[in-house]
């Protein structure tokens, strides 16, 4: 069967070379009885490929069952897979057939195979090599004819090196490796899949069609999609149900994309944007370190003035010191108090009588400094936007963040 026919039959959307290669491998291995290990990230569609292999094999008229090995407790997984005899353990009030017995002549799909306990792995290896197994609590050898397709979202070889997975079972399952590409490696397919999902959901909920503007399309394509196709489908359904404005902008789309604190899953920057990006925490650290450096310099200056007994020709006068305080731009409360200070000249310094800048005394006013990170971040963004006259791209470069991160912060902080 041609690749395009397989896509239509199983509802696969996309023309990525990596996707086509995976479909081609599934098509070639399906007529055999070879065990297949499907690897891919969560939500990338591993179970769909297990159905492709089963439906295009001579076993297509036999039973098919999908088992999530990670969802079965360690104490009962042997019973689930191989069955048990009456009284085999507490609660075994009768005999039970396992999946390998009920699916005889068909295909069993073992999802999250890396989560299988080591003891169960040994039993599975025997089934793969000889087709034999023993029920829990029995001594009778049973026979089965089942094709095993396994899948995992972790690197099984790393689990082998760590002693969590049997090496012999790994090589037995990995006769034909089948890797499903993540959605971020199929950029050319993302918008096509999104349109299909939104079309299906708008028909289902009888709502107007969804459209993305050009900038929103770029956000969609450049996002890393850690949840892959499953995450994209969920977001498409949310947009179809919740949004009244059916033309979706980038800012609207960003509200449906979860962001981790370290920013790793934020939409990836466009090619014409700086490659380096910083998290919000990095920006705040940079601000605090700059403030600390300025305060240290100011303290040195004031200490030097006191040590020399007054303001001489090498030191700034009152107006210059005031300007120095202003240049430091200390963060204050929304009342924007201006820092004030007191300089008192010793009476016995004769220079005080000739310099009009001497003997200047201002009543010290306590400045209430805001310790809110949100206020500092909001203040930085306002200053950057003001400096660049509202040009967000230049302001983002000034702040050391991506333009899309700046869009999100503007919306979150209601600037």
Asked if residue 76 and residue 224 are part of one domain, the reply reads no
Asked if residue 155 and residue 206 are part of one domain, the reply reads no
Q: Is residue 307 part of a domain?
A: yes
pLDDT at 383: 85
Asked if residues 176 and 27 have their Cβ atoms less than 8 Å apart, the reply is no
pLDDT tops 80 at residue 314: no
- What is the sign, positive or negative, of the torsion defined by CA atoms of 54, 55, 56, 60? positive
More confident residue, 61 or 265: 61
Domain boundary among 299, 317, 347: 347
* DSSP 8-state secondary structure symbol assigned to residue 269: P
Q: How far is 221 from 371, CA to CA, in rounded Å?
A: 38
Asked if residue 241 and residue 288 are part of one domain, the reply reads no
Asked if residue 93 and residue 52 are part of one domain, the reply reads yes
pLDDT tops 80 at residue 328: no
Asked if residue 177 and residue 213 are part of one domain, the reply reads no
pLDDT tops 60 at residue 203: yes
pLDDT at 405: 81
Q: Is residue 405 part of a domain?
A: no
pLDDT at 11: 92
Domain boundary among 127, 149, 181: 181
Q: Is residue 108 part of a domain?
A: yes
Asked if residue 234 and residue 112 are part of one domain, the reply reads no
pLDDT at 377: 78
**Average pLDDT for 253-266:** 65
Q: What is the CATH number of the domain that holds 230?
A: 1.10.8.60
The single residue listed with the structure tokens 């993305």 is 212
Pick from 15-24, 95-104, 328-337: least confident = 328-337
More confident residue, 132 or 376: 132
Asked if residue 188 and residue 62 are part of one domain, the reply reads no
Which long-range contacts (C-beta less than 8 Å, at least 24 apart) are formed by 115-123? 115/69, 115/70, 116/69, 116/77, 117/74, 117/77, 118/164, 118/165, 118/166, 119/78, 120/77, 120/78, 120/81, 121/165, 121/166, 121/169, 122/166, 122/169, 123/78, 123/81, 123/82
Asked if residues 287 and 375 have their Cβ atoms less than 8 Å apart, the reply is no
Q: Is residue 399 part of a domain?
A: no
Asked if residue 224 and residue 105 are part of one domain, the reply reads no
pTM, 2 dp:
0.61
**Average pLDDT for 282-299:** 73
pLDDT tops 50 at residue 336: no
**Average pLDDT for 100-116:** 95
pLDDT tops 60 at residue 226: yes
Least Cα distance to 239 among 272, 275, 199 occurs for: 199
pLDDT tops 60 at residue 325: no
Q: Is residue 355 part of a domain?
A: no
Residue 92: burial class (beta carbons within 10 Å; 0-12, 13-18, 19+): middle
pLDDT tops 70 at residue 82: yes
Domain boundary among 347, 381, 397: 347
Q: Is residue 409 part of a domain?
A: no
More confident residue, 278 or 270: 278
Q: What is the CATH number of the domain that holds 128?
A: 3.40.50.300
pLDDT at 282: 64
Asked if residue 189 and residue 173 are part of one domain, the reply reads no
Number of domains composing the chain: 3
**Average pLDDT for 302-316:** 61
At 277, is the pLDDT very low, low, confident or very high (cuts 50, 70, 90)? very low
pLDDT tops 60 at residue 97: yes
**Average pLDDT for 275-303:** 68
Give the H/E segment covering residue 379.
helix 373-387
More confident residue, 18 or 318: 18
**Average pLDDT for 311-325:** 53
Highest mean pLDDT pick, 231-240, 260-269, 292-301, 317-326: 231-240
Q: Is residue 372 part of a domain?
A: no
More confident residue, 412 or 62: 62
Asked if residue 151 and residue 53 are part of one domain, the reply reads yes
Asked if residue 169 and residue 219 are part of one domain, the reply reads no
**Average pLDDT for 146-161:** 94
Asked if residue 87 and residue 54 are part of one domain, the reply reads yes
Asked if residues 84 and 125 have their Cβ atoms less than 8 Å apart, the reply is no
Percentage of the residues of the chain whose pLDDT score is greater than 90: 54
pLDDT tops 70 at residue 190: yes
pLDDT tops 60 at residue 359: no
Pick from 31-35, 61-65, 109-113, 264-268: least confident = 264-268
Range of the domain at 216: 184-254
Q: Is residue 385 part of a domain?
A: no
Q: How far is 189 from 16, CA to CA, in rounded Å?
A: 7
């Amino acid at each position: 069967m041609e690749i395009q026919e397989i896509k239509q039959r199983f509802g696969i959307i996309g023309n990525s070379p990596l996707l086509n290669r995976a479909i081609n491998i599934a098509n070639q291995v399906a007529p055999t009885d070879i065990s297949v290990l499907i690897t891919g990230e969560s939500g990338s569609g591993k179970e769909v490929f297990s159905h492709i292999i089963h439906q295009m094999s001579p076993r297509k008229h036999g039973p098919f069952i999908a088992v999530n090995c990670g969802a079965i407790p360690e104490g009962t997984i042997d019973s689930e897979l191989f069955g048990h005899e009456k009284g085999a353990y507490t609660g075994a009030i009768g005999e039970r057939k396992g999946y390998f017995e009920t699916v005889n002549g068909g295909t069993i799909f073992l999802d999250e195979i890396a989560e299988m306990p080591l003891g169960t792995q040994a039993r599975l290896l025997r089934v793969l090599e000889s087709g034999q197994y023993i029920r829990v609590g029995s001594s009778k050898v049973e026979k089965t004819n089942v094709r095993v397709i396994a899948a995992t979202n972790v690197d099984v070889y790393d689990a082998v090196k760590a002693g969590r997975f049997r090496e012999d079972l790994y090589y037995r399952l990995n006769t034909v490796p089948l890797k499903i590409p993540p959605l971020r490696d199929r950029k050319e397919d993302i918008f096509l899949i999104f349109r299909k999902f939104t079309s299906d959901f708008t028909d289902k909920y009888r709502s107007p069609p969804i459209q993305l503007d050009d900038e929103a399309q770029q956000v969609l394509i450049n996002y890393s999609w850690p949840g892959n196709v499953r995450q994209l489908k969920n977001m498409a359904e949310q947009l179809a149900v919740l949004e009244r404005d059916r033309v979706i902008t980038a800012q609207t789309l960003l509200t449906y994309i979860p962001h981790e604190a370290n920013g790793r899953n934020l939409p990836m920057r466009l090619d014409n944007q700086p490659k380096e990006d910083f998290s919000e925490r990095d920006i705040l650290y940079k601000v605090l370190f700059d403030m600390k450096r300025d305060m240290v310099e100011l303290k040195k200056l004031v200490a030097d003035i006191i040590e020399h007994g007054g303001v001489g020709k090498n030191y700034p006068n009152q107006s210059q010191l005031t300007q120095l305080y202003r240049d430091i731009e200390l963060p204050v409360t929304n009342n924007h108090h201006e820092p004030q200070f007191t300089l008192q000249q010793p009476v016995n310094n004769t220079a005080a009588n000739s310099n009009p800048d001497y003997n200047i005394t201002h009543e010290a006013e306590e400045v209430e400094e805001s310790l809110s990170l949100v206020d500092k971040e909001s203040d930085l963004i306002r200053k950057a936007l003001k400096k660049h006259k509202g040009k967000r791209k230049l302001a983002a470069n000034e702040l050391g963040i991506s333009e899309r991160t700046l869009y999100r912060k503007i919306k979150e902080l209601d600037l």
